[in-house]
Every structure is written in structure tokens, then in C-alpha cells.
Amino acid sequence: MALARYDDVATWRTTGSQHDNPVFPNLYRNRIPDRPDQVWVADITYVALASGFAYLAAILDACSH
């Protein structure tokens, strides 16, 4: 199986970083969990499909990472 490269795919800006909204601090930037269920991390992104877009949400226990 080979990786495909798409040069002509349109891109969309999904995040506007130039805003006046508060940015919350990363409370666990320098901490490493030593057992499960201490720190959970999550992210949401868009996935392009032939029929449009879908949302993908990932939730992980940081200890298992």
C-alpha cells in the first residue's frame, strides 16, 4: 500500500487564532501521569469525506499514551 499525495485538494481554515477570547492555561504541560485515570486529553477535528465532512473526536487516557 502506498501513500497518496493530493496537491489539488482545497483547504479550509477551521480555526481563527486572531481573536480577543481568553486562552486558558495548559495545567498539565510539564506533568507526567504515573497511573491511569489521572489525566485525560481530547481533540476534535474535521475529516473530509466524498460526501462532505464528518467530525472525529478522540479521547485518550494520557497514561496509556
Number of structural domains (the chain) is 1
Contact 36/64 with Cβ under 8 angstroms? yes
* Alpha-carbon distances, residue 43 vs 10, 12, 59 (angstroms): 23, 18, 7
Mean confidence (pLDDT) of the chain: 83
Tell me, what's the pLDDT at 14? 66
Tell me, what's the pLDDT at 27? 84
Q: For residue 17, what is its C-alpha cell? A: 487564532
The verdict on residue 29 lying in a domain is: no
The verdict on residue 44 lying in a domain is: yes
- d(CA 48, CA 11) in angstroms, rounded, equals 10
Which domain does 51 fall in, by range? 37-65
pLDDT digits (tens, 9 = 90+) for 1-31: 666 666 666 676 667 778 898 988 988 888 8
Q: Is the pTM of this model over 0.85?
A: no
Contact 42/61 with Cβ under 8 angstroms? no
Contact 47/55 with Cβ under 8 angstroms? yes
Tell me, what's the pLDDT at 32? 84
